[in-house]
A and B are shown apart, each in its own frame.
Chain A
Amino acid sequence: MAPRALALIAGGVLAALTLGPIAAVLIRAGGLATLGPGDWQALRFTLWQAFLSALFSTVLAIPVARALARRRFRGRGLLVALMGAPFILPVIVAAMGLIAVFGQNGLVNLGLAALGLPRIDIYGLHGVVLAHVFFNLPLAVRMLLQGWLAIPAERFRLAASLGLGPRATWHVLEAPLIRRIAPGAFAVIFVICLTSFAVALTLGGGPRATTVELAIYQAMRFDFDLGRAAALALLQLALALVAGIVALRLSRTAGFGAGRDRVVPRWDGQGALARAGDALALLAAALFLLVPLASVVLRGLPGLAELGPQTWHAAGHSVSVALGSTALCLAWALPLANRRGELLSLAAIAISPLVLGTGYYLILRPLVNPFDLALVVTAMVNALMALPFALRILRPEAETVEAEYGRLRATLRLTPLAWLRVVWVPRLRRPIGFAAGLSAALAMGDLGVIALFADPDRATLPLQVYRLMGAYRMEAASGAALLLLALSLGLFWLFDRGGRVRADT
């Protein structure tokens, strides 16, 4: 049957595009002996920063999630939505925002200086961890919040009728929940932070704050030592696979925390101390997320006038990469929206874009000038990276359509093409739009594989922002970052909206 053949083709291409580069890396890697002491330092740093990032994200998420779960207030929905925003926020934009707040001349340092206290320096380990917490605290909050909201309302009623105090409520209801969800959240964030390139590129640096991925980039771009780059890629691959398997076991129930939001009536936590604590947690989280974003917007506005032709050119590249990547991602996701496909795509989650990029570089170099294919490879790698998310969104809905209308399809004798065109795609418009929006925003903001491949003529917008920052043209960089933010959110909005309008069901 045709759909089956399509699924086989999509699966085969997916396997070839992930396993091919890995094979290239394996063949080219000169063995671990090629790695110098600096590389082992990078490995230690990678593990340590991922550990700290996961720890802080998870621990700090607990009071925020608890407050969101048990308080009703105006703007609560907005705050919950804000917790989803970092997912589609370009890393370089967040880095600019964090620099504006915590950087050399940032708000925090201005405050510290006014108080006569020593300045803090954002570059290095704490900058990397700070940025990772910025991105992953909201993820941990969403995962925990989902768990909290899944506690049946009857339990809280029972606790209220028993007159349980805060301590007892904690022991009976909340602590078991945290013990169940927090390890999974920690593991997922740990894995995400292992494959962190853009954060380390912008806020790390120096031998003491280099991740393995950053070391791959430096080996390729600065030392042009392909053997060492391949050996590092191998190291990264092993790291991600081991951590990925552990995370998968720990987080089986955790998911990505994109569940429905609801407010469970609560009777506990009515004391003044509890109220103040919750208010403080929510305020701190909101400020931590909003102030950097607000400063990107405020600092970017005057910079918009400074956008040169190069930046516009890069923006054009980024939009085409985003659209190409989205099309490719959907072309994979639609035939693979089943259980087997989702398992297959999990392979892509463990593999870092830099490893794939290194592999593609090794494969392409004997054949063509790899730089000529910079944008194509970027679009392809981004499609691979977005695929697991797209499948997670599409699969349940696709299975519902199959379950609801599979029999009607048979009795009407619909051809596979008619089923796809007349029923399947129209019924799945919303999830397809949402998946396309995520995929486009992720590709738009990606600063990963493009850094390996780019030459001056083929920058994407995130890379252009990075270059402007590196040239200390902060005004222009801020303007470009704002443009990038607008384009990422705009693409997401367009696709997501496109899936919703007139999608009457």
Chain B
Amino acid sequence: MLTLEGVRIAMEGGALAADFSLSPGRRVAVLGASGAGKSTLLDAVAGFRALEAGRIRWDGQDLTGLPPDRRPVSILFQDGNLFPHLDLARNLGLALRPDGRRPDRAQAERIEGALARVGLQGLGARKPGTLSGGQQGRAALARVLLQARPILALDEPFAALGPALKAEMLELVREVAEGLGALVLMVTHDPGDAGLFADDIVLVADGAAHAPVPTGAFLADPPAAFRSYVGSPAPERG
């Protein structure tokens, strides 16, 4: 259980409040207009941004003061998820060997397995720059698979992909997350993505991240703050 207790996060032009819990294994879309504070919320959970007030707990463990590298969170950023000078095997190897040493035989097999799992079998020797955007996303997901942490945070990593490819990647995220039994927090400004992918929706609007609402119920009867966002004359597209 990921619990945000009376959380307050400072951000440009105000603060973001959050006070709710998320259950393990759920897929949660963090939905809101750009600038509302979606990424801010994710950064606070991942440890890249300090809290002004409140606590964040995971299964009773207090994460509040922990640095990012000691939290049970793996995260995919909008870009820069792979080191461009390292081949895929080496990039993935860092998830298993944070000391930078070469993986042993068993680990090498796990790496090859993770690549195969995301449909990149045999591409371990390729550098990220030689892959398409979709393939890079897959490789980053394979790395998350190896990191095997109970919380997976996605900060719009597929925003640059076309709709068909994005749907494919979301399906892959679902598989990966189910394999890990991980809680997924996915930032998006697109209700369509949320509908395809999420069990629950956390709406970020008006300086607060609201408690999760099941996706079906949310979309059937959207809250006022969400309606005004979707109904705005020029909705932002990824």
Contacts and interface: CB of A to CB of B under 8 A. Distances in A.
A417 B127 contact: no
Interface in B122-159: 127, 129, 147
Contact of A421 (B68, B77, B80, B100): B100
Interface string A488-505: 000000000000000111
A427 interface: yes
3 A-B pairs with least C-beta separation: A418-B100, A410-B68, A422-B100
B119 interface: no
A415 interface: yes
A56 to B, nearest CB: 46
B65 to A, nearest CB: 15
B83 A408 contact: yes
B238 to A, nearest CB: 21
Interface in B67-81: 67-70, 73-75, 77, 80-81
Given A411-B147, A415-B99, 20 more contacts: A404-B80, A405-B83, A407-B77, A408-B77, A408-B83, A411-B46, A411-B68, A411-B69, A412-B69, A412-B98, A412-B147, A418-B98, A418-B99, A418-B100, A418-B101, A419-B100, A426-B85, A504-B84, A505-B84, A505-B85
A412 B129 CA distance: 20
Contacts of B69: 409-414
B84 to A, nearest CB: 6
27 contacts: A408-B80, A408-B81, A410-B67, A410-B68, A411-B69, A412-B69, A412-B94, A413-B69, A413-B70, A414-B100, A415-B99, A418-B97, A418-B98, A418-B99, A419-B100, A421-B100, A422-B83, A422-B86, A422-B94, A422-B100, A426-B85, A503-B85, A504-B84, A504-B127, A504-B129, A505-B84, A505-B85
B39 to A, nearest CB: 12
A423 interface: yes
Best-buried of B85, B90, B147 by chain A (most CB within 10 Å): B85
A476 to B, nearest CB: 48
A208 B97 CA distance: 68
B48 A415 contact: no
Contacts of B97: 418
Contacts of A417: 99-100
Contacts of A411: 46, 68-69, 73-75, 147
Interface centre among B46, B77, B98 (most CB of A within 10 A): B98
B47 interface: yes
Contacts of B70: 413
Interface residues of B, number: 28
A405 B84 CA distance: 11
A173 to B, nearest CB: 38
A402 to B, nearest CB: 12
B95 interface: yes
Interface string B94-123: 110111110000000000000000000000
Secondary structure of the A contact surface, majority rule? helix
A412 B101 CA distance: 14
A416 to B, nearest CB: 10
A505 B84 CA distance: 6
Nearest to B83: A423
A412 to B, nearest CB: 5
Contacts of A505: 84-85, 129
A409 to B, nearest CB: 8
**Residue of A412, A423, A505 with most chain B CB atoms under a 10 A cut-off:** A412
Contacts of B94: 412, 414, 418, 422
A468 to B, nearest CB: 47
A437 to B, nearest CB: 21
Nearest to B81: A408
Contacts of B81: 408
Contacts of A408: 77, 80-81, 83
A415 B85 contact: no
Contact of B98 (A407, A414, A421, A504): A414
Contacts of B99: 414-415, 417-418
A427 B80 CA distance: 13
A427 B84 CA distance: 9
A17 B77 CA distance: 44
Contacts of A412: 69, 94-95, 98, 147
A418 B97 CA distance: 9
Of B67, B69, B73, B81, most A-chain CB atoms within 10 Å: B69
A407 to B, nearest CB: 6
A426 B87 CA distance: 13
B98 A413 contact: yes
Nearest to B85: A426
Contacts of B67: 410
Nearest to A420: B100
Of listed A411, A418, A505, residue having the most chain B CB within 10 A: A411
Nearest to A414: B98
